[in-house]
Structure 1
Amino acid sequence: MTEYLQVSTAFTARQDAAYVARSATHSRLAAAAQVIGPVLSMRWQDGALVETEEWQLMLRTRVDRFDELTAYLVERHPEPNPEIVGVPIVPGTRSYLNWLDQRVTL
């Protein structure tokens, strides 16, 4: 199992995504964050296919910080059930992963 994750979620407002990116990084729950967008998203909601414009938030962290980062994101997300997923970072350059370790502190 990998020690590192790229965690993603999405916001309908750019300023919300930027705020959470800054605050999660400042809190050292993530070593880095990117706000990407706008992106066009499609999903099933209440029996209908819904199309929305969103801002993707990507964060890099360690596996041992995932639960705390998830709770942080859920608390600050305007949606009641936001999509939050972690994808293993395999492989990564040793220098980048060392940098990530130094910035994500417990």
Structure 2
Amino acid sequence: MTEVLTVSTATPSRDAGLRLAESAIGAGLAAGGQVSGPVASVFWHNGEFGQGEEWVVSFKTTAARYAELETHLIEYHEWKNPEVTAVPLARASAAYVEWVERVTAKKVADDG
């Protein structure tokens, strides 16, 4: 069975999260995604303690497409060093896994 992942990152605004989701899903790197928030964040950054609001963007993809999705998220993200993490789904319905696999499958040109 195909390994399905939930991949997440955070953005500084809802609009930034939607742009990132639209670009990744439009490129076929994820089958779907959600933008949720705002969430309160507490963190260390550049040696300083900080707080702020962020929007969490989560994607559904396959392990086979993870590296491409990670590269895309880092390239198109507003931040220089964004968090990009992935968690494998321990369980998922067969129909759901098939959908994620089908939507994220690389399209191969017909040479014939």
TM > 0.5 between the two? Answer: yes
TM-score (norm 1): 0.94
Partner of 1:89: 89
Looking at CA atoms only, which structure, 1 or 2, has the larger radius of gyration?
2
What percentage of residue pairs aligned between the two structures are identical? 37
TM-score (norm 2): 0.89
Measured in 2, the distance between the counterparts of 1:80 and 1:32 equals 24
Measured in 2, the distance between the counterparts of 1:15 and 1:69 equals 19
> Residue 17 of structure 1: SS of its match in structure 2?
helix
Give CA-to-partner distance per residue, 1:23-80, whole Å, 9 cap, x none: 1111110000000011111111133321110110000000011110011000111111
Partner of 1:68: 68
Partner of 1:53: 53
Measured in 1, the distance between the counterparts of 2:99 and 2:68 equals 20
The count of aligned residue pairs is 105
- Structure 1: 4+ residue segments shifted above 3 A: none
Alpha-carbon shift at residue 88 of structure 1 (Å)? 0.4
Partner of 1:19: 19
Measured in 2, the distance between the counterparts of 1:72 and 1:42 equals 26
Are 1:35 and 2:47 matched, yes or no? no
> Residue 54 of structure 2: SS of its match in structure 1?
strand
Partner of 1:9: 9
CA RMSD, aligned part only? 1.1
Unpaired runs of 5+ in structure 2?
Answer: 107-112
